[in-house]
Amino acid sequence: MFYENYTIHFSIPKDFLAPAEELNLFHHIFQMIVLMLSIDDNKIVNQKKRACEDLSKNIKQDVESFML
């Protein structure tokens, strides 16, 4: 079986201040990206699908909180 390693680099300026809602949204989107790049193994496909659904709900709630 072939495995790949993914490295994601990003930086946030030191003077970057964001409300907690924005940081939560960023965190959830980052988790989704990492999850989508993770290795597809037949044993974890269902777990990965459930995790994506949960993260999607979290992202939707984060976006809705901005609209208030």
- Please answer whether residues 21 and 65 qualify as being in contact, where contact means their C-beta atoms are separated by less than 8 angstroms: yes
Higher pLDDT, 7 or 60: 60
Q: Is residue 60 scored above 80 in pLDDT? A: yes
**Nearest C-alpha neighbor of 28 from the set 55, 61, 60:** 55
What's the helix, strand, coil split of the chain in %, to 5? 60, 0, 40
User: Which range in 3-7, 14-18, 53-57 is most confidently predicted, on average pLDDT?
Assistant: 53-57
Structure tokens at 15: 């003077």
Please give the residue that has the higher pLDDT: either 8 or 35.
Answer: 35
Determine contact, residues 47/23, Cβ cutoff 8 Å.
no
